[in-house]
Amino acid sequence: MELNILLVILVILYFVDFKKYFVIYMAFAVWLSCFFSPKAGVFGSLSEVAVLFYLFKHKQICGNEVKVSNYPLLLCSVLLLLSYTCSNFFTGNLHYNAYIGKLILMLSNVYILWSIFEGNKQKYIRIFIRYSIIFAWIICIYGVFETITRTNPLVHLFEAANLYYEPFYITEIRFGLKRAQSVFMMHTTLACTCICIFGMLYCYYDEFLKKKSYLWLLLLLFFIAFTTGSRSGIIAMVLTLGIYFRSIGKKQLAGIVVATFVFVIFQSYFESILGSIQDTEQVGGSNTDMRTQQFLIAIDLFNNNPWFGNGLGATFSDAFYSKELLGAESLWIPCLIEQGVLGCIATGMFFIQCFVYCIRMKQKHLCFFVLAMVVMFSMTSVPQVNFTYIFIYLYVMANINKLTIKK
């Protein structure tokens, strides 16, 4: 009941200012995706309404200057659309809810947000950054509380109230700290969110606002990513630091000195992380054997229908489910099982187009962020974070230098 009331309020705000509130909802998309009523997910429902708004008010929303042909993800979007369609209709495993969900959450949301940004970068990118910063403070402050107290009363509360979709309360201790999940259902979701906002906020901080509050937030985002204990998240965060080396100067050299000093001070901690990456049996959770087993199962199921896969949602359906696939520790596992060769090509093309976008925008240093996301999504599952949303943060990073904000 509470979620239904919330959903109605959020939809009403679309009528007040669709573009503004859609941008805000996308800034909080990962958290909103956690909330599920018995009938539907909050963010999924908001996205469906958004598509209807966009279809009926297309010209008012983006005007005549925004053209589909200029969309940076046009090729991979067409391939993903083709893959989802073939996997749903030509595999004998119809799943209309999953099909519509993929089209809206993976494709439509990103395109609508891009068209809003293109219509007025100055206004809407700033709104997205502003609310992403608010979101970052929420997850970081609560993440610090969770790490210190080793408790998460908020997730307990949402679980008791049946507000979250399949809540998963994490109690595991890794590298001496409770694995933080903050307001999310999984620690990997927290790590990925921290990395995306960290990359975007660093570009914003570096270009315009060198305020101490933003610097502290950057450090908190970096710290919280480590408290998740997610090895894939930690590796991805370290790779994201590559955006710092847009050029080599005094600032970059100073950064290397500081990083070396921190590594020496916390050497034993970092050595335990490196050791667990080299030997995955050192800590609990997923390991090399488990991931290998999952890929072997995925390849076996892939062979049933190599071209189009076994249908959307097949990974965890009763017909194909195997307990060894729990967690599906890679984006490519469900992709192989559900979408086959076409799905893997389409997904791979998304990451390729992200790299191309960095080069085309003459911001090659942002390739480190894309590489970080490729590594993370390939090494683990990231619930509630649709991989296409990577482009949203990449787009903002690449266009921040076009904003006119007072220093």
Q: Is the pLDDT of residue 323 over 60?
A: yes
Where does the pLDDT of residue 176 fall: very low under 50, low under 70, confident under 90, or very high at 90 and above?
confident
Long-range contacts of 129-134, Cβ-Cβ distance < 8 Å, separation of 24 or more: 129/200, 129/201, 129/204, 129/396, 131/23, 131/24, 131/27, 131/28, 132/27, 132/197, 132/200, 132/201, 133/197, 133/201, 133/214, 133/217
Where does the pLDDT of residue 36 fall: very low under 50, low under 70, confident under 90, or very high at 90 and above?
confident
Q: Is the pLDDT of residue 287 over 70?
A: no
DSSP 219-236: HHHHHHHHHT--HHHHHH
Per-residue pLDDT tens digits for 9-24 = 999 999 999 999 999 9
Per-residue pLDDT tens digits for 266-277 = 556 565 666 666
CA 109 to chain centre: 13
Among 218, 231, 155, which residue's Cα sits nearest to residue 188? 231
DSSP single-letter state for residue 175: T
Among 193, 185, 192, which residue's Cα sits nearest to residue 156? 185
Calculate the average pLDDT of the chain: 86
Distance CA 229, CA 238 (A): 14
DSSP single-letter state for residue 381: -
Tokens standing for residue 12: 């009403």
Higher pLDDT, 204 or 53: 53
143-147, 176-180, 220-224, 402-406 — which is least confidently predicted? 402-406
Can you give the pLDDT at residue 407? 44
Where does the pLDDT of residue 322 fall: very low under 50, low under 70, confident under 90, or very high at 90 and above?
low
Query: How many Cβ atoms from other residues are within 10 Å of residue 167's Cβ?
Result: 17
CB 394 within 8 A of CB 357: yes
Task: Report helix, strand or coil for 138.
Answer: helix
Per-residue pLDDT tens digits for 257-267 = 666 666 666 55
CB 344 within 8 A of CB 336: yes
Among 88, 87, 10, which residue's Cα sits nearest to residue 44? 10
Task: Report helix, strand or coil for 178.
Answer: strand
Can you give the pLDDT at residue 258? 66
Paired strand residues for 36: 41
Q: Is the pLDDT of residue 178 over 80?
A: yes
Q: Which helix (H) or strand (E) holds 84?
A: helix 74-89
Angle formed at CA 333 by CA 309 and CA 371, multiple of 5 degrees: 120
Residue in the structure block whose two tokens are 């509630």: 384
For residue 173, report the phi and psi dihedrals to the nearest 5 degrees: -100, 125
9-18, 34-43, 119-128 — which is least confidently predicted? 34-43
